[in-house]
C-alpha cells in the first residue's frame, strides 16, 4: 500500500484544478494506508476480475471527529480542508471528501460527505479505526464555512480558517462479548456491576440487537450498523459490524 503525506497531496493539486467547490485534488489516509494518487474512486459496483470477487462498497464513514481549514499562502493560495473521522472497523480504505455543493450556495456553506471503501465482509467489533482526508480549494472561493457529513451526523465549521470538533465516538463494543445487554430503561441485573453490562443507550444509533428467539427479516448489509447477538440469558455472544 502506498504511503501518503499532506505534502504529496499538495503536489497533486495541479492535476485537477476546478473552481467553486469542486475538488482541486484529494489525498487520503486510513490508519497509515492511502492510495496517494488523488484520483477518483472506482464506481460503487466495480469489482476486480474473477467470478468470486466481492463487490466494492463505498459508504460514509461512521463519524466525523473534527474539521479543520488551513490557509496556505505559499505558491498557489489554497484553503485546505482537513477532516478526521472514525470508521466502524479496520479495513476501510481510499477515503475522500466528496462535494455535495455545486456553484455558489445561498448560505455560503461548502457541503462535503466523508466516504471510503468499506470492507467487503462483515467485521468483528475490535475497535474504531482513525481515518482522515483532505480537500484543497482555491483561496478565492465563495464559502463562509464547511459542513462535513458522516453516517451518523455532520460537523460544521463556520470560520475559515478554523477548527471544529464533533461528538465523542462512544462505545466501540470491542469488549462487549461476554457482557449482559441491558435494554433502554431496564434495571441492571442484580449482582452485575457497570463493567459487566452494556446499556442500549451506550450503543451507536444504527445498532440492532438480536435476541435468542428473534428472526432476521432482512439480509441487507450496512457496514455502519453494529449487530449484537444475545444468548438466552441476555449475554452478548457476538458483536459485528455488518
pLDDT of 52: 58
- Residues 157-177 as b/e (b if ≥16 CB within 10 A, e otherwise) read beebeeebebeeebbbbeebb
Q: With a cut of 50, list the residues of the chain below it in pLDDT.
A: 1-49, 51
pLDDT of 76: 85
pLDDT of 42: 42
- Asked if 117 and 48 touch (Cβ cutoff 8 Å), the reply is no
Please state the domain extents for the chain. 6-165, 180-241
- Asked if 63 and 166 touch (Cβ cutoff 8 Å), the reply is yes
Nearest to 1 by CA among 127, 86, 91, 83: 91
Give CA–CA dist 45/119, Å, rounded: 14
pLDDT of 22: 35
Amino acid at each position: 500500500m502506498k504511503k501518503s503525506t499532506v505534502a504529496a497531496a499538495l503536489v497533486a493539486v495541479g492535476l485537477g484544478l476546478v473552481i467553486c467547490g469542486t475538488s482541486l485534488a484529494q489525498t487520503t489516509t486510513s490508519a497509515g494506508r492511502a492510495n496517494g494518487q488523488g484520483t477518483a474512486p472506482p464506481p460503487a459496483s466495480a469489482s476486480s476480475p474473477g467470478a468470486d470477487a466481492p463487490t466494492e462498497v463505498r459508504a460514509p464513514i461512521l463519524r466525523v471527529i473534527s474539521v479543520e481549514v488551513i490557509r496556505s499562502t505559499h505558491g498557489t493560495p489554497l484553503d485546505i480542508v482537513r477532516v478526521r473521522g472514525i470508521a466502524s472497523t479496520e479495513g476501510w480504505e481510499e477515503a475522500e471528501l466528496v462535494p455535495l455543493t455545486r456553484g455558489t450556495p445561498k448560505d455560503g456553506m461548502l457541503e462535503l460527505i466523508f466516504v471510503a471503501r468499506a470492507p467487503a465482509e462483515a467485521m468483528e467489533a475490535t475497535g474504531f479505526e482513525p481515518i482522515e482526508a483532505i480537500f484543497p480549494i482555491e483561496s478565492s472561493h465563495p464559502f463562509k464555512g464547511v459542513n462535513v457529513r458522516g453516517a451518523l451526523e455532520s460537523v460544521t465549521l463556520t470560520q475559515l480558517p478554523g477548527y471544529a470538533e464533533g461528538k465523542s465516538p462512544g462505545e466501540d463494543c470491542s469488549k462487549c462479548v461476554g457482557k449482559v445487554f441491558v435494554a433502554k430503561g431496564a434495571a441492571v441485573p442484580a449482582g452485575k456491576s457497570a463493567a459487566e453490562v452494556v446499556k442500549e443507550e451506550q450503543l451507536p444509533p444504527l445498532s440492532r440487537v438480536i435476541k435468542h428467539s428473534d428472526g432476521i427479516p432482512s439480509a441487507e448489509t450496512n457496514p455502519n450498523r453494529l449487530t449484537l447477538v444475545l444468548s438466552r440469558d441476555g449475554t452478548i455472544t457476538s458483536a459485528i459490524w455488518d
